């Protein structure tokens, strides 16, 4: 059974989202040859251990609002009901689901929307979750993570009057009432590359990637460029865990740990990893070698042990909360736009974290770099 709940009836979010209004870019990439479908290669929200919500609501009639952004049946003060389809792990997972829900809660409080929430419990029920939200009258319906790409597209064809969003996902073909919100990962990676160079005492840092695909190469390109922006002579080690299509690249923490420990023994003192679940191996290596690890996607400091926290310099985070809020606001304003939508630093969609206070002495430098990227004064490469 698929359960759809309304209102804010789960544990509070771990961090209050910043107040930022986004104006997302229309172009799919700084590199016109880049393939946004690569977003499917670093999975988010694929853990199938989530618990279902005990609350239930009755399904409502399908909305007939046009994809131009006309409001769904009355919901809250705005007249909009937004639907959020969480992936396995649910609202309190501490990663993409939790971050997205922070944006939904902010939309409830500030925009007066009602939010219907559904959750994948088994990992095989995403189609049913999206269908239940569509039938509840929600518009837009937002799927969290690339695993919702195909279920959302299927529902969008069946419900042409409802708008849909996939956060960090992509599918082709897709109808015009689907927006794929993707991220300029190279820009956020530039920030943490600069942080790595600023805190490195050896002038020797490293990057571990998952699969050798364009998506992860954007992380590498930004990190290397950011480190060299600070120190043109810095040495940056680079290694990937698998070839394109190698699913184990995202689930090989021991391999990442061995690479990182080898580098740490050779003088590297900061390693950034963009490799899904493999990244915990880098953190463990940093603990063993008394070095620094940099997290990715969410603030990994918040889910780490006290011992691990002492070695997580920062994380490059995707601000799904700000993007979720902005896309719901577009629906209210009648300004919803489908297609590939790229969100970067200029839209407040990426950032570095300051948990632990390890970057306090360099925040002013990093904030200036962030402002320069957002304003176009620094152009970050998308490929190594």
Question: Which residues are within 8 A (CB) of 379 and not within 5 positions of it... i.e. 6 or more apart?
Answer: 30
**What is the average pLDDT score of the chain?**
85
Under DSSP, is residue 220 helix (H, G, I), strand (E, B) or coil?
helix
Compute the distance between CA of residue 198 and CA of residue 366 in angstroms, rounded to an integer. Answer: 9
Question: What is this structure's pTM?
Answer: 0.81
pLDDT of residue 170: 95
Question: Do 186-317+354-374 and 21-183+320-347 have the same topology in CATH?
Answer: yes
Fold for 186-317+354-374, please state it: Rossmann fold (3.40.50)
Q: Answer yes or no: are the C-beta atoms of 108 and 6 closer than 8 Å.
A: no
Compute the distance between CA of residue 342 and CA of residue 318 in angstroms, rounded to an integer. Answer: 12
What's domain 21-183+320-347's architecture? 3-Layer(aba) Sandwich (3.40)
Give the tens place of pLDDT for each residue, 219-244: 999 999 999 999 999 999 999 999 99
Strands 141-144 and 81-86 turn out to be parallel
Give the tens place of pLDDT for each residue, 292-336: 999 999 999 999 999 999 999 999 999 999 999 999 999 999 999
- Is cis: bond before 173, omega within 30 of 0? yes
Domains of the chain: which residue ranges? 21-183+320-347, 186-317+354-374
The strand pairing partners of 119, in sequence order, are 86
């Amino acid at each position: 059974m698929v359960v759809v709940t309304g209102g804010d009836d789960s544990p509070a979010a771990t961090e209050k989202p910043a107040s930022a209004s986004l104006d997302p870019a229309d172009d799919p990439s700084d590199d016109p040859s880049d393939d946004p479908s690569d977003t499917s290669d670093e999975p988010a929200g694929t853990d199938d251990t989530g618990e279902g919500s005990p609350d239930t609501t009755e399904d409502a009639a399908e909305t007939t609002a046009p994809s131009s952004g006309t409001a769904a049946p009355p919901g809250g003060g705005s007249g909009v009901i937004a639907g959020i389809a969480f992936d396995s792990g649910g609202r309190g997972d501490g990663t993409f689901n939790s971050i997205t829900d922070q944006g939904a809660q902010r939309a409830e409080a500030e925009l007066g929307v009602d939010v219907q929430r559904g959750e994948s419990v088994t990992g095989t029920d995403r189609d049913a979750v999206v269908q239940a939200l569509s039938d509840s009258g929600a518009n837009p319906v937002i799927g969290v993570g690339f695993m919702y790409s195909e279920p959302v597209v299927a529902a969008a064809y069946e419900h042409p009057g409802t708008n849909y969003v996939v956060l960090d996902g992509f599918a082709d073909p897709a109808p015009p009432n689907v927006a794929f919100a993707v991220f300029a990962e190279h820009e956020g990676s530039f920030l943490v590359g600069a942080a790595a160079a600023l805190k490195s005492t050896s002038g020797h840092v490293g990057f571990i990637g998952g699969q050798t695909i364009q998506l992860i190469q954007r992380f590498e390109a930004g990190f290397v460029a950011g480190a060299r922006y600070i120190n043109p002579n810095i040495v940056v080690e680079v290694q990937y865990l698998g070839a394109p299509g190698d699913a184990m690249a995202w689930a090989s923490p021991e391999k990442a740990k061995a690479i990182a420990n080898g580098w740490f023994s050779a003088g590297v003192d900061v390693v950034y990893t963009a490799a899904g679940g493999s990244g915990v191996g880098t953190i463990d290596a940093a603990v063993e070698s008394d070095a620094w690890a940099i997290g990715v996607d969410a603030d990994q400091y918040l889910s780490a042990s006290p011992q691990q926290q002492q070695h997580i310099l920062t994380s490059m985070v995707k601000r799904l909360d700000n993007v979720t809020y902005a896309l719901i606001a577009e629906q209210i304003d009648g300004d919803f736009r489908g297609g590939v939508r790229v969100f970067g630093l200029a839209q407040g969609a990426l950032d570095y974290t300051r948990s632990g206070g390890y970057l306090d002495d360099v925040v002013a430098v990093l904030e200036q770099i962030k402002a320069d990227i957002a304003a176009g004064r620094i152009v970050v490469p998308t490929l190594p």
